[in-house]
Amino acid sequence: MSFNRPFFIATISLVTTGSTMFFVGCGGAKYSNESFSYQYVVGTCDTKRHVFANKVSYCKGLQDNSANNGCAFDERRAAFENASCGASFEQPVN
């Protein structure tokens, strides 16, 4: 088996770039039957990771500007709307 250095370097670069994008990314919302979570990073502003046991808590969390460090307003609003939280983003969820 011969060692193809350019191929090896290209492969390592691709894996490193893909891994970095996976771990850093732009954030996102994920939800399943058991839990709801999100984290958004916009520039240097980070909401930090939030995990909720149910959809109502998730929706309220998305609306909480203070708990999200004032970050990612548009991303949080889009996630709120995509989750069909039952109200407008600007109105409190009961």
CA neighbor of 91 nearest in space, from 55, 69, 63: 63
pLDDT at 2 over 70: no
Model pLDDT, residue 35: 83
Buried/exposed 50-63: b ≥16 CB within 10 Å, e otherwise: bebeeeeebbbbbb
CA neighbor of 83 nearest in space, from 27, 28, 26: 28
User: Over the stretch 35-89, which tens digit does the pLDDT of each residue have?
Assistant: 899 999 999 999 999 999 999 999 999 999 999 999 999 999 999 999 999 889 9
Which pTM does this prediction carry?
A: 0.65
Model pLDDT, residue 61: 97
Helix (H), strand (E), coil (C) string for the chain:
CCCCHHHHHHHHHHHHHHHHHHHCCCEEEEECCCCEEEEEEECCEECCCEEECCHHHHHHHHHCCCCCCCCCHHHHHHHHHHCCCCCCCCCCCC
